[in-house]
Amino acid sequence: MEIIKSTLDIGIKKPFTFLHVSDIHLSETDENDTPARREFAVARKRGFPFSLSAIKFITDYVKKTGYPLINTGDMLDFVTPQNLSIAQKFVQDTNMMLAPGNHEYWTCPNNRFHYDDVQQTHAQRENTLDAVEKALGINVRFSCREINGVNMVCIDDSNYNITQDVFEKLKAIEAEGKPIFLFMHIPINSEHIEINHEFPLNAPKQYFKDCHPLVAQERTSNELTCSICDYICNSPLIKCVFSGHMHYSKEIIGLDKQNQIITGVNTIREITVI
Ligand SMILES: [Fe+2]
C-alpha cells in the first residue's frame, strides 16, 4: 500500500497523528452464498484484488503506530455475510471510525451492479445500513470523537445527500467551538476535483448531460444537501473535509473555500495535525 505522510497546520496546542483510508471494496463470499453470488464476487475481486491484503496491512499499521484510524467508506463492495464478518473484525481490531460509502448499502440481489437495481437498492437503503451497523457494532450515520481538542466527525453522505438529522448533530458539535475535521465518503464539488466514473456532492448540471436517467437521479444532491455543502464550505470551524469515492488521492488545501483531502484505493494517509 502507498503511505502518504503529510502535516496539517490548524494551530492546535497538542499535535497528534491519525490515519485515513477509503474504498477497500471487500468482495468475499462463503458457503452461505449461492454459486451465482460467488461467481459475481470473483468477478468483482478482479477490480479490487488487494482488499484482503489491505485490511491486514492497515490492521498491522494501526497496531504498530497506535494511531487512530478513520475510514471513509466502501469498505464493503456489496453486502455478504463474509464481508460483514471480515469488516466486523477489522473494526474491532482497529477501533476505527467509519463513514459509509455508497457500496455499504448495495445488496446486489441480482448479483450485478445494474440500473435495474437502483430503485430497489435505494428503497432498502435504511434497512441495509441498519443491518451493517448492527453487524459492525458501530454507528455509521454519525459519530464523533475528540482528539486533543479537535472534533473528528464522521457523517453519512453515501447517497449523495445529507439528512437534516445529521446536519443538526453536526451543528451541535460545532457549537462546542472546537475545530472540526469532517469525514464523509463523497467529496464536496470543487473545480479541483477531476471527474472520472464518480461524481462529487452538489455536482454541476453539466456533469449529468450524458448520464443514464437513473444514474442522474441517484447522484443528484437535494436542495438541503446543497445548502449543507455551502454551510460546510463557509464554516470557520470545519478545517478540512476528508473523503474517498473517487479512488484517487487529491489534496485541495488553500485552493478553494473548503480544504479537502481525498484518499484513494490502496493508500494510507498518515496525517500529523499541528
Ligand atoms: Fe469506492
Q: What is the Å distance from ligand 1's center to 265 Cα? A: 8
Instruction: Look up residue 221 and give its three cell numbers.
Output: 444532491
What pLDDT digit, counting tens, does each position of 64-100 carry?
999 999 999 999 999 999 999 999 999 999 999 999 9
CATH domain 2-273 topology: Purple Acid Phosphatase; chain A, domain 2 (3.60.21)
Q: Is the Cβ–Cβ distance between 200 and 136 less than 8 Å?
A: no
Q: What is the Å distance from ligand 1's center to 15 Cα? A: 30
Q: What is the Å distance from ligand 1's center to 74 Cα? A: 5
- pLDDT at position 195: 87
What pLDDT digit, counting tens, does each position of 223-268 carry?
999 999 999 999 999 999 999 999 999 999 999 999 999 999 999 9
Q: What is the pTM of this model?
A: 0.97
The DSSP result for 226-260, as a single string, is HHHHHHHHH-SSEEEEEE-SSSS-EEE-SSSSS-E
Which residues are in the CB-under-5-Å shell of ion ligand 1? Answer: 23, 74
Q: What is the Å distance from ligand 1's center to 1 Cα? A: 16
Q: How far is CA 97 from CA 43, 92, 155, 182, 221, in A?
A: 29, 10, 10, 12, 24
Q: What is the Å distance from ligand 1's center to 150 Cα? A: 27
